[in-house]
Amino acid sequence: MRHRAWGLRIVGLLVGVALLGAAGAGAQQAVTLSVWTFWKQEWVQPALDTFMEANPNVTIEYQQLSWSGGFDKIVTAIAAGEAPDVVELGSTWMPQFIDEGAIIALDVADVYESYSGWEGATGPDGNVYGYPWFGATNIMYFNAELAQAAGVTACPETFSEFKAASEAIDALGPEVRGFSIKIGGRYTTWQKFLPFAWSNNARVLNDDWTESLVTSDRFVEALEYYDSLKASSIVGTQDDIRQSFYLGRVGIIFDGPGLNLKKNAPDLQAFYCLIPRGDHPDTTSTGFSGADYLTVTAQTEYPELAQALARTLSQGNLISSRIRTLLPFYKPDLDALLEQYPDDPELKVYIQQMQNATSPPPHPRWVDIQETLTLAIESTILGRGTARENLEAAKEEIDFILQEYLAEKGGQ
């Protein structure tokens, strides 16, 4: 498998077309702005209403994207010259959209200190390309009843302790499994594994992004450990594993805000833990820091209005008020959330894990790299070769992607 740059290049993005031609153009004339996010319109409608009240000449067309097909839909729209004015992008997508010129730099100087999370929206040129909306991570959820029956009374802190807890719960009987390993989907497999690698002090790429480090001893050790958990775990898709956890058939699940126990399993008693760190003394529990940004595409005819709309959407706890563990980056919103839920144990663990979390390298070809990682992880979990064999194949492919990107940039 050899990856190639995605479809944005096929039309050159039309980046010079009317990028600045409409500065202030929306002040008098009737204007329609299109917005694409991954959330129900009713959730963001208060911000849309606020913006339209302040800009009565503006009509907003809203579209909710799906998590499964949203990325492809955005790429296809940009390639066809039909991009929305404002679009929500995940942190692992941002480098590629910045690199391709698909989104524009924003003027955020007046509000910079009011947000956190700018790192994932800052390009190599130092410009900011999106308003931080909210951040997410994953934590360990323990079924309290199963854990107590297995003698697990505290959060495991190391890999060894965690494996022992999984095995103890798994030993309760044939109808119960200890842990749960998620595979399938574009993002699930690698996002659930990489925190184990990071928590073992392993990395995906070297500092200058010229070589993959997935065959380092610590990375291989992390995947071997992850595979060893399989003996006491259920293996399946995220949806299947969530259902098993809701039904009390699995003791531990590594999950995020989408688990939503209050809605999906209100009678299940749980306690919450950080991801365990490796057994080496230099390791630290390190979560995955995912973030979503509101960006303005390069094809908008109204860059100033679109940026104002993106800013309005990024404030007001629109998402965090619905899913409190999606932590807002707008600092007044985070303060309000903490004041509203001062004693929420789940929220406290999310905040603690986010304080010690990291993201994948912001390489413009990360979307290709993640596919290679997914193949190596799933091949190992499904018994198709050893961890080292699969990671050696992944290194060869990732190194090719890195060198191909450098060659493309050198030729421009």
Task: Report the half-sphere exposure of 75 (CA within 13 A, side-chain side).
Answer: 16
pLDDT recorded at residue 130: 97
Provide CB contacts within 8 A for 92, sequence distance 6+: 290, 359, 360, 366, 367, 370
The candidate with the shortest Cα–Cα distance to 318, out of 94, 49, 127, is 49
Q: What angle do CA 251, 252, 255 make, to 5 degrees?
A: 140
The candidate with the shortest Cα–Cα distance to 305, out of 44, 3, 4, 32, is 32
Give the whole-angstrom CA distance, residue 98 versus residue 121: 9
Measured CA distances, 334 to 116, 324, 329 (Å): 10, 10, 7
Per-residue pLDDT tens for 117-138?
999 999 999 999 999 999 999 9
Q: Look up the pTM and report it.
A: 0.86
Three-class DSSP category at 79: helix
The predicted model gives 155-177 an average pLDDT of: 98
Lowest mean per-residue pLDDT among 17-21, 105-109, 249-253 = 17-21
* Position 110 pLDDT exceeds 80: yes
pLDDT recorded at residue 411: 63
Per-residue pLDDT tens for 10-37?
333 333 333 333 334 445 689 999 999 9
Q: Residue holding tokens 């010229």?
A: 210
- Which amino acid type is present at position 201? N
The predicted model gives 87-103 an average pLDDT of: 95
Please return the burial class of 349, using the count of CB atoms within 10 Å of its CB with bins 0-12, 13-18 and 19+: buried
In percent, how much of the chain has pLDDT > 90?
Answer: 89
User: From the CB of residue 28, how many other CB atoms can be counted at a distance below 10 Å?
Assistant: 8
The candidate with the shortest Cα–Cα distance to 169, out of 223, 234, 250, is 250
Per-residue pLDDT tens for 318-358?
999 999 899 999 999 999 999 999 999 999 999 999 999 99
Q: What angle do CA 77, 80, 86 make, to 5 degrees?
A: 35
* Domain architecture of the chain: domains with CATH: 7-136+290-340 (3.40.190.10), 153-288+363-410 (3.40.190.10)
What region does 194 belong to: left with phi over 0, alpha with psi -120 to 50, or beta?
alpha
- Angle between helix 217-228 and helix 366-381 axes, rounded to 10 deg: 50
Measured CA distances, 377 to 181, 202, 371 (Å): 11, 15, 10
Rounded to the nearest 10 degrees, how much is the dihedral formed by the CA atoms of 64, 70, 72, 76?
20
Give the whole-angstrom CA distance, residue 111 versus residue 128: 12
Per-residue pLDDT tens for 348-403?
999 999 999 999 999 999 999 999 999 999 999 999 999 999 999 999 999 999 99
User: From the CB of residue 390, how many other CB atoms can be counted at a distance below 10 Å?
Assistant: 23
Give the whole-angstrom CA distance, residue 372 versus residue 395: 9
